[in-house]
Structure 1
Amino acid sequence: MRRKIAALLESREDKSALGKLIDGFLVTLIILNILAVIIESVESIFLQYQHVFWAIELFSVGVFTLEYLLRLWTCVDMQDPRYHSTVKGRLRWAFSPLGLIDLLAIMPFYVQVFLIQPGSSNWLILRALRGFRILRIFKLTRFSPGMKALVTVLKQESATLAVAGFILFILVILSSWGIYALEHDAQPEEFSSIPAAMWWTVVTLTTLGYGDVVPITSAGKVFAGFIALMGIGMLALPAGILASGFSAEIHRRKDAFEQVAETVITDGIISISEARELEQYRESLGLSKEQAQSLIKTAERDRRKQHADTCPHCGKSLTNELANKITGDGNS
């Protein structure tokens, strides 16, 4: 029974129709929760339909709690070998990114119900806990191949992104110190300290330019222009790293699908079961049907070309044989 439940909950290529139906239900419920959090922030609507929002919350927490417990119970039967150990495997899953996301999706409700007394004056805490429900949006990463690809890219490029972030941090510190030194005497209220100058630095580096705080000295204006130009280049670094990594990940997935397609069409015929396997693999990789069809056609052309260059009797390359004959004739 545990293996059957694991097969229904886990994202895998051979997922059954019931498993896909469960995924669709969970995705719909997550989207409903996100909409509820957004709409109930309008106080007039929340006061009028408070009982509806509470019913949605109770039902959602019940479903998400059951899902979390089932995933924690069945993770030992998942395909990932890291979770196969009865105790350590479950602990690894519980502290995995997806496990923590599932826990954060239900924790605010239980904290609000069991740890905060009714009529408590800690309204800021209650509001924050209600707001934390928006984190349920991250549960969608489990059901979206595109989001999984982005998470993979973030893991692969984490070291490079950390370097870019560190450089940006240094630039913020130096820029804040520079504008403080140049503008403090002229505007002691606006640039009262280096931490206060950091707001101006961040706004300038991101080229937002609110205009609430601006340098008035000549040196400060020149420095601000230099910082703005530096910001354009520095903020482009993470975007370029992610774009390059995402492109490389998509190419890797296309190559993987093409290799599987080449294996499937070795005999020149794609059976119904093979077509179903290709479709499941395509969905798991997050490729569109047009991309998959193009890759299958490419694999088919490569197969035909390979067979055309090979002797059907001896299996030798006709191209090499022809080259040897020409070379031999030239030597004679």
Structure 2
Amino acid sequence: MNTSNINALKEGLKNSLKYSLSNGLKNGVAAIIERLQSEKNTCWLTHTQVEKILRRDKDFAGKCLRKMNLSGLDFSHSKLYEADLSHANLRETNLKFADLQKAILLGARLIKADLRDADLREADLEYANLSEANLNKVDLRKANLSGANLSEANLNLADLRGANLAESDLVIGFSCGITVLIKANLNNAYISHADFKNADLSHANLSGADLKYADLSGANLSHANLSGADLSHANLSGAKLSHAIMGGANLTYTNLSLADLSHTRLTYANIVRTNLRRADLTSANLHGSKIIEAKISSADFFDANLAGATIMNVHTDRALNFDHAKNLQKVKSLV
């Protein structure tokens, strides 16, 4: 091998070594970054440190408690403002009067947790499990509860103004007497058998919601969006539904006796075997609706729009008020 070939070989080995070292360094740095990122996603607080803070001042504001097992601990009156509790286990945890404003509780397990009088304004509870939780007098204004499980939860006197409950689960046993849900988003929520007696749901979005067998007696649903909602077998006696949007709603076997349905949009609604006794349907829009075998004694249809409606085999033993009803002559069938 001549001198030029030897020099070329040396240069090649040198460059190869440089490349290997450079590539190895890059891989090493990448591994460190990945490890740091992994550690970033894991909280630094230990269970012992949590217990020390609980004994000291209960100040967890901004702290990371992600994925920790905090089941059964006493966090009452704790400061958890902007704390990260995502995917934490808070089963049967005492959180009475806790400040959880803007806290992250994504996917947290709050089964049977005691949250009475807690402040959860603007908290993120997306996909959290709050089944059987006590949320009496809790402040959930503008909180995100989309996809949350609230089955058998107690939301009595809770404030959910502006809260997002889209696609949440509020099944049998859910109770929220006199709860404020003004402008709440309950789009496509599963709320069958829920107790909403006297609740304020004015301006709420309940479009596509499953409200079968729900108790909404005395509830305020004025200006609410109930389009496409399933209210079959629900109790809405004495409810305020003025100016509500109920187009395409299923009202089969629904109790709407004494309900205020004035100016309500009931276009193409399914009103079959519905109880409308003494209901106020003044200026309601019933275009294309099906009113079949309904109980309509003393119902007031003054100035209502009945164009294209089907009224068949209705039950009435008292006079009806169809004064000034619009398009009565266009009713498909009036028996």
* Range class of TM-score, shorter chain: under 0.3
Q: Which has the higher helix share?
A: 1
With structure 1 as the length reference, what TM-score do the two structures score?
0.20
With structure 2 as the length reference, what TM-score do the two structures score?
0.20
For CA contacts below 8 A with separation 6 or more, give which structure has more relative contact order.
Answer: 1
